[in-house]
Structure 1
């Protein structure tokens, strides 16, 4: 025995079997042609191997509990099978020719059926589909959409439910089978009491909250692969919940007025418009992940939406100056944006999202997040706006980085100059955002060379500078630029190899080729600009 180390002696005994060869053929065919889809698809090979080598099913078990096999043995050693004792007695009388036979002379089989022999009927019997095959429930719900289970019972349960579905209803029991992985520890071992490597879920919940544990588990759960559990991910889940809770506290702490300064209104207008488009872009990604059963990828998209797009960018843009009010229109837009964020969060963090939903504004009885309609995708969202704003984000990020590198206080006001051109024009609508988030007094353009005595930097291929003179370590700065040039040249070389590959050029989609050509142009432009910077340094 695996548990007690007691010696186990094999014993031959009579068993009941179900002949499987013909019975299992429809279940194999319909999985192989994707009428029933296994997700991830890699499990189709295991399924096919089992089903093509199927053996007759031993359905009897020697247990003290279970569903007793409906067979009765007769005094002469023969047997009858029936649904009830009365039917069994009648069959036995006919079989033996003994009209005086009684139940006391018959013995019902002592074995019970295998647990899978009853649970293979589960999709049908939950709707009373065997006793009442045409009832409204089974006609409405059967077949169901999705089954979520573990791959180790793919044959024991899933295959047999599919077999039963085609045998008893001539229809698949479900459309998709999503196969999860096994939770393992950091060393890859299966969680078990004997190893002592299984954390107490209730203790984890007390420490990180139920939503924190859910997020932590889902962050490490790629479809069909084992889950390498790491408690630090639960901590990350808790921090995620804290982030959205603090966002609520921030918004509810704002004073609301009908009017605010015009420059603040301009930033707010841009922010609201941008987030509406950004939300649709992320929602498209989330829905795509859901359709492919990439649950952890969907969570990561939600995570980045909340942490980066909503909190780090949108709220920072609309946040009024210290002890200043926010206009009513922007505040209501913030609430509407927050509601959309909560709706996509809810499948992953049901408790905190429901709590925030009711604290966000007054709601009527029964107006709960759990039954709120999921956001609908706006297919024609403005991708050009998002592309341009992405460059503005990079300008702000790079300018903040320059401040850190040059030890310039975030509170010190600066002027920003950007070189005239297509990229400069693409960010012109977002100058108010750059001024607020990068703390600059103005965004101006220049067309000639970068003047002496300034700090210049590159954002993608957009040349920028701030009038901040410092003593430059020419050698260190040159080494930094040379290192960047070497990186860009290596990147350009890899792109050129791809574009020079005849097989790639013949088979790749046009948009993929166009993307590679754009990478080539950008890399060449960066190398040119960096070389010019290096030349100016050498003149000093």
Structure 2
């Protein structure tokens, strides 16, 4: 194994080895997984990031979790496949290529489709996939030999196959429905590509006259320009205010078109005036109302969001210009009753930030109800599980209220629809290859649909298309279904649902059993990281400064699945310090390891109490962490190994055995060395999935390790290491030592000043523990010697008391305090506090300060006075005691 015979460097510096180790893993092909009938498979499909993307904290969190799971399962003996890849990201990639062409004085339209796609492929090959190189810096151990791209030939074949199958089953159709339309990108976009932002707007109250009447009905709207497309007014059937008007007609202001007043339960009686205008061609809810009441359609907008020929005198105006003119005209004609401020949630195109327009459009759709039912049933019967469970309700609710899915996009970069039209008879033909002639009229005048498919259509097939489907490959049989999906909670609707129903429909079974949902990474103030706020943190910069291990450990500890977390650089620094502590502990072990001890078997008969304790503890931590990881309690598992390494192994066990390592008892010395090494090896294995670089580097320097840590076996619980009694005894001693240390720290007693330690107990079991622990109290609690008594009346009064379970500890004050020096220190402290109290009381008695200073500043001074008074009381009390005993 590489670097094994060199000494571990004195200083921990991740830059010295992280890149080298990753290359070592990759060159040795440790990440690769193949069909192996002798092993049970474990599969994770990496959520494919956009080919145009760069690594951000969300990616870092998501991929760290996946890497932890895959490394753990690999060590457990599974054939663990983590398959990576990227998504072609049709709208964002096309936008970037269009922008590049614009700078070169070219345009998409002038180039034509074929030349434009050549440019897009060139751009993708040059700039795309950068995120995968960045992921390597994080240490991800995915199988790069199986990396896929959603526009790969194999995946494109799968997309065509699914489209044709769904079309032939009547589950894909072409029709006029409401979609999200971006007037700038000039394409339909998915809900996932719409960013909803709070916006300050208005609610315009408009008077609609009732036909043949002096009466009118008031409508409140946030989009006055859509009045031009109104086809009805709807009221709730139980709203007594409007019952008399149902069935009558209103006159559309400015347009003078008659529109019916209908009753529909969709209307919210409490919002606005309780009556709503129905514009079926420009609102998804209105579309449904229009369908129920056979209102038809009346589209008043062009693709660029200007008013079309149906807008009368407003034709040609931009939607917002039309809004201003319509509002002025409504006011002029007496239809505008009032304008209210209104906070509205407005959808913007994720790419160009243009306000999205809901509009009726002839598009291709997937009929969702038949596909949603089995996906919903899979969750209800417990076959599909969410971590945490609460997100299952969101999944269920969305499927219960699902709408048909618009899958066509007016873009050139992506999977082109396998749809052909006859120009002579309008026959629609769906086929893998271009038909030579029309299936209906035999015409050869045929052209292919210009649209491409929604990116989510190909992503929905990711768990099986990446394994070779529709071919019945050995990889598909072996690795599908996958085990767990790790992704953000924000794409439950857009990706998770679509993978579930696609897997059931095409493969006959769920694509995964478990869905592990992560939260968002927020800044220190709890704000979402964004370019506009300038509060984003580049993971690569963090890695460069602190190392990948410190970043990984920060991301997975201190939070739980599905919850947002705040990112603090202080925690990254603390985790680097943790890595440094492990590094130094390893150096200590190696420096005290004799070559002739390495091959010795551990003789359980030679174990001392602290040996049994640490072996039992690492045994239990192994069991607990395995259970935690199996429940996806990754943060809990990480915290347990952190606490064990820092507190128990480094701060306690190493300190406990130092006298034995430097002593003359050879058996005891060798046993301590052997246990130190055994536990260190288990520590490295348990920590490896979380902090892979430092653990692999340390592992390479341990003697007799002939295989890489990444492919070593996960520790198993051993019954022979179950020393419960030893754990209880050592824990009791540790609690006593902590109590003594705390008292000494509070009294600022120097470590060099030793004291007698007196234990009072009548419990024979406790006496036995304390007698055994004498050397620990002398070495770790700065004891001069210890006494064990049954009656505390014999020990005098000038002692500090510590209460324990079944015992009490007394420390003689004369051993702890140099009374002369303490008196001097307290007098100085008293003088300092007198000055602080004088200053703060002077401020608080100053009327000018009280009247002019902000209330929070005044309150801060009041709190200081309280604090200084309290400190002064304690100092005076202590002074009195010292003077009495000096």
Alpha carbons 1:212, 1:237 under 8 Å: kept: yes
Q: For residue 463 of structure 1, what is the aligned residue in structure 2?
A: 808
Match of 1:243 among 578, 581, 588: 581
> Secondary structure of the equivalent of 1:22?
helix
Say which is worse superposed, 182-191 or 33-42, in terms of deviation.
182-191
Alpha carbons 2:755, 2:816 under 8 Å: kept: no
Deviation, 1:405, is 4.2
**Aligned counterparts of 2:543 and 2:688: Cα–Cα separation in 1:** 18
Q: Determine whether 1:78 maps to 2:427.
A: yes
Question: CA distance change for structure 1 residues 177 and 282 in 2, over 3 Å: closer, same or farther?
Answer: same
Deviation, 1:17, is 0.9
> Secondary structure of the equivalent of 2:533?
coil
Deviation, 1:352, is 0.7
**Aligned counterparts of 1:118 and 1:140: Cα–Cα separation in 2:** 22
**Aligned counterparts of 1:314 and 1:70: Cα–Cα separation in 2:** 68
**Aligned counterparts of 1:203 and 1:322: Cα–Cα separation in 2:** 42
RMSD: 2.9
Deviation, 1:362, is 4.6
Question: CA distance change for structure 1 residues 202 and 407 in 2, over 3 Å: closer, same or farther?
Answer: closer
Match of 2:792 among 449, 452, 477: 449
Deviation, 1:415, is 3.8
Q: For residue 398 of structure 1, what is the aligned residue in structure 2?
A: 739
Q: Report the TM-score when normalising by structure 2.
A: 0.48
Matches within 5 A, 1:286-301: 286-301=625-640
Q: For residue 497 of structure 1, what is the aligned residue in structure 2?
A: none
**Aligned counterparts of 1:29 and 1:391: Cα–Cα separation in 2:** 53
Q: Determine whether 1:158 maps to 2:487.
A: no
Structure holding more strand per residue = 2
Superimposed CA distance per residue, residues 151-210 of structure 1 (whole angstroms, 9 cap, x where no aligned partner): 111111111111011111211111111000111112222111221101222221122111
> Secondary structure of the equivalent of 2:808?
strand
**Aligned counterparts of 2:496 and 2:770: Cα–Cα separation in 1:** 55
Q: Determine whether 1:221 maps to 2:563.
A: no
Q: Determine whether 1:16 maps to 2:357.
A: no
Q: For residue 617 of structure 2, what is the aligned residue in structure 1?
A: 278
Match of 1:127 among 460, 467, 472: 467
Match of 1:319 among 634, 652, 658: 658
For structure 1, which runs of at least 5 residues remain unmatched after alignment?
A: 260-264, 474-539
* Structure with higher RCO (Cα < 8 A, 6+ apart): 2
Alpha carbons 1:220, 1:228 under 8 Å: kept: no
Match of 2:677 among 329, 335, 340: 335
Q: For residue 356 of structure 1, what is the aligned residue in structure 2?
A: 698
Alpha carbons 1:258, 1:328 under 8 Å: kept: no
Q: For residue 641 of structure 2, what is the aligned residue in structure 1?
A: 302
**Aligned counterparts of 1:416 and 1:89: Cα–Cα separation in 2:** 99
Deviation, 1:248, is 1.5
**Aligned counterparts of 2:455 and 2:607: Cα–Cα separation in 1:** 62
Match of 1:46 among 368, 372, 394: 394
Deviation, 1:468, is 5.1
> Secondary structure of the equivalent of 2:635?
helix
Deviation, 1:81, is 0.9
Task: Report the structure number with the largest CA radius of gyration.
Answer: 2
**Aligned counterparts of 2:616 and 2:595: Cα–Cα separation in 1:** 26
> Secondary structure of the equivalent of 1:14?
strand
Matches within 5 A, 1:130-141: 130-132=470-472, 135-141=473-479
Superimposed CA distance per residue, residues 280-321 of structure 1 (whole angstroms, 9 cap, x where no aligned partner): 222233223212212111111111011101100111111248
Alpha carbons 1:50, 1:155 under 8 Å: kept: yes
**Aligned counterparts of 1:471 and 1:437: Cα–Cα separation in 2:** 16
Q: Determine whether 1:368 maps to 2:717.
A: no
For structure 2, which runs of at least 5 residues remain unmatched after alignment?
A: 1-183, 185-347, 598-603, 820-884
Question: CA distance change for structure 1 residues 52 and 154 in 2, over 3 Å: closer, same or farther?
Answer: same
**Aligned counterparts of 1:126 and 1:5: Cα–Cα separation in 2:** 33
Match of 1:109 among 449, 465, 479: 449
Match of 1:436 among 756, 774, 779: 779
Alpha carbons 2:681, 2:699 under 8 Å: kept: yes
**Aligned counterparts of 2:572 and 2:370: Cα–Cα separation in 1:** 48
> Secondary structure of the equivalent of 1:163?
helix
**Aligned counterparts of 1:471 and 1:127: Cα–Cα separation in 2:** 71
Alpha carbons 1:27, 1:159 under 8 Å: kept: yes
Alpha carbons 2:592, 2:661 under 8 Å: kept: no
**Aligned counterparts of 2:558 and 2:816: Cα–Cα separation in 1:** 48
Q: For residue 513 of structure 1, what is the aligned residue in structure 2?
A: none
> Secondary structure of the equivalent of 2:516?
strand
Alpha carbons 2:420, 2:429 under 8 Å: kept: yes
> Secondary structure of the equivalent of 1:13?
strand
Alpha carbons 1:124, 1:138 under 8 Å: kept: yes
**Aligned counterparts of 2:676 and 2:353: Cα–Cα separation in 1:** 65
Q: For residue 197 of structure 1, what is the aligned residue in structure 2?
A: 535
